[in-house]
């Protein structure tokens, strides 16, 4: 087991013990009843002595949320967006939080960026600039996004062409919807948020989830790297299980690859199928589930 994972598991054990004590104390004080007021499939977090709730959407609800994007709507465009030359962009780098990020395949060969229902202060703070061949999108004042965006930061909508060499998306909390994206490299990082990525095709894919959840469905042409802390990663590959060689590292969580399950006693495993693609999976206390459309 890697040294880093040993440190992580020791820390998790200490935190778990503290958590038991705090849970008992909270139950005695009546805190459990407050949490019962929130629906299932949601995320709750405590801030300024109040419980806030972020709901997760079912797949059907996600698709309904995406339907209106193609309708004729009044979208907000900042001066940075309007005056920015997007010709020749080969990479897209996004680092945001609290926002609802929607990425779809573009019919043109240019990146198109717009917003919807975004707070004016957040819209002004949103930074979109070009660094050589990379389009960078980020927040300038992260505290502002936390204070305003925790209730509703609005939507950032990006139409992505097929000719990008790489797409990197880092979302602390919030929601990422991605549909039918084609790219050379795809890098997804989710903190406490959720990501639903469907119909993608990429050469190399890297996805990491802290306490959040990532759902992927698509095609990987070369290498797939999955890293899960205490969250959840689900991946449906359009091929079969033997298309990959595997490197599996599991802590206290569980990894399911087809019909094979790997848990803590299994430790580290390497599986050589003499395949042309590699899949590297590391799981701490979370859950990773891989299924294949064509079976084994």
The pLDDT of residue 205 is above 60: yes
pLDDT of res. 52: 41
Q: For a pLDDT cut of 90, what percent of the chain falls above it?
A: 59
Question: What pLDDT, on a 0 to 100 scale, did the predictor assign at position 85?
Answer: 66
> Of the spans 25-39, 63-77, 272-286, which averages the highest pLDDT?
272-286
* Whether residue 42 is found in the same domain as residue 11: yes
| pLDDT single digits (tens) 69-105 | 444 333 444 444 545 667 789 999 999 999 999 999 9
Domain boundary among 54, 70, 89: 54
- pLDDT per residue over 132-176, tens digit each? 999 999 999 999 999 998 878 899 999 999 989 999 999 999 999
> For position 182, what pLDDT does the model report?
96
According to the model, what pLDDT value does residue 49 have? 42
Regarding whether 232 and 128 lie in a shared domain, the answer is: yes
| Residue 16: per-residue pLDDT | 55
Is 247 in the same domain as 285? yes
| Per-residue model confidence (pLDDT) at position 54 | 40
Alpha-carbon gap, residue 189 to 11, rounded angstroms: 22
231 and 123 share one domain: yes
What is the rounded distance in angstroms from the CA atom of residue 32 to the CA atom of residue 184?
Answer: 47
pLDDT at 202: 97
Same-domain status, 157 and 36:
no
Q: Are residues 39 and 66 in the same domain?
A: no
Q: Are residues 14 and 134 in the same domain?
A: no
- How much is the average pLDDT of 120-125? 93
**pLDDT over 90 (residue 201):** yes
Examine the pLDDT at 34 and tell me if it is beyond 90. Answer: no
Q: What is the mean pLDDT of residues 231-238?
A: 96
Domain co-membership, 68 together with 148: yes
Domain that holds residue 30: 3-54
Count of structural domains, the chain: 2
Q: Count CB-CB contacts under 10 A for residue 149.
A: 23
DSSP string, 96-110: ESSSEEEEEE-SSSS
Reported confidence tier of residue 196, pLDDT bands at 50, 70, 90: very high
Asked whether residue 199 falls in the same domain as residue 266, the answer is yes
Sequence-ordered strand ranges (E) for 7-133: 42-47, 50-55, 91-96, 100-105, 112-116, 126-131
Tell me the CATH number at 250.
2.160.20
Q: Same structural domain for residues 31 and 106? A: no
Tell me if 253 sits within 8 A of 241, measured CB to CB: no
Quote the pLDDT of residue 261.
87
Distance, in Å, from the CA atom of 75 to the CA atom of 211, rounded to the nearest integer, reads 32
User: 24-34 burial, b for 16+ CB within 10 Å, e for fewer?
Assistant: eeeeeeeeeee
Statement: residue 260 has pLDDT above 60 = yes
- Answer yes or no: do 156 and 193 share one domain: yes
Do 38 and 72 fall within a single domain?
A: no
Residue at which a domain ends, from 54, 76, 96:
54
pLDDT at 108: 84
pLDDT at 281 over 70: yes
User: Where is the domain boundary, 18, 33, 54?
Assistant: 54
pTM confidence score:
0.74
The yes-or-no verdict on residue 33 having pLDDT over 90 is no
The total of other beta-carbon atoms located within 10 Å of residue 169's CB is 23
Q: What is the pLDDT of residues 45-64, one digit of tens each?
A: 344 344 444 443 444 554 55
């Amino acid at each position: 087991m890697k040294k880093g994972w040993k440190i992580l598991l020791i820390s998790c054990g200490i935190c778990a013990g503290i958590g038991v004590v705090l849970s008992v104390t909270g139950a005695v004080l009546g805190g459990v009843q407050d949490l019962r007021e929130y629906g299932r499939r949601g995320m709750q977090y405590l801030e300024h002595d109040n419980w806030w709730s972020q709901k997760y959407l079912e797949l059907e609800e996600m698709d309904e949320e995406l339907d209106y994007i193609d309708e004729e709507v009044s979208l907000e465009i900042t001066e940075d967006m309007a005056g920015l030359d997007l010709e020749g962009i080969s990479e897209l780098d996004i680092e945001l939080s609290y926002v609802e990020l929607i990425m779809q395949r573009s019919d043109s060969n240019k990146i198109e960026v717009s917003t919807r229902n975004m707070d004016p202060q957040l819209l002004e703070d949103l930074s979109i600039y070009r660094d050589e061949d990379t389009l960078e999108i980020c927040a300038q004042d992260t505290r502002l996004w936390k204070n305003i965006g925790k209730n509703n930061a609005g939507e950032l909508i990006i139409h992505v062409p097929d000719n990008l060499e790489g797409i990197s998306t880092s979302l602390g909390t919030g929601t990422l919807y991605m549909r039918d994206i084609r790219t050379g490299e795809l890098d997804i990082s989710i903190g406490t948020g959720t990501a639903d990525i469907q119909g993608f095709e990429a050469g190399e894919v890297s996805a990491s989830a802290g306490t959040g959840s990532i759902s992927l469905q698509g095609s990987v042409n070369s290498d797939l790297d999955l890293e899960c802390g205490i969250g959840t990663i689900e991946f449906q590959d359009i091929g079969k299980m033997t298309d990959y060689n595997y490197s599996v590292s599991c802590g206290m969580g569980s990894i399911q690859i087809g019909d094979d399950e790997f848990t803590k006693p299994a430790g580290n495993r390497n599986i050589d199928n003499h395949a042309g693609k590699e899949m590297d999976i590391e799981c701490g206390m979370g859950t990773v589930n891989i299924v294949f459309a064509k079976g084994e």
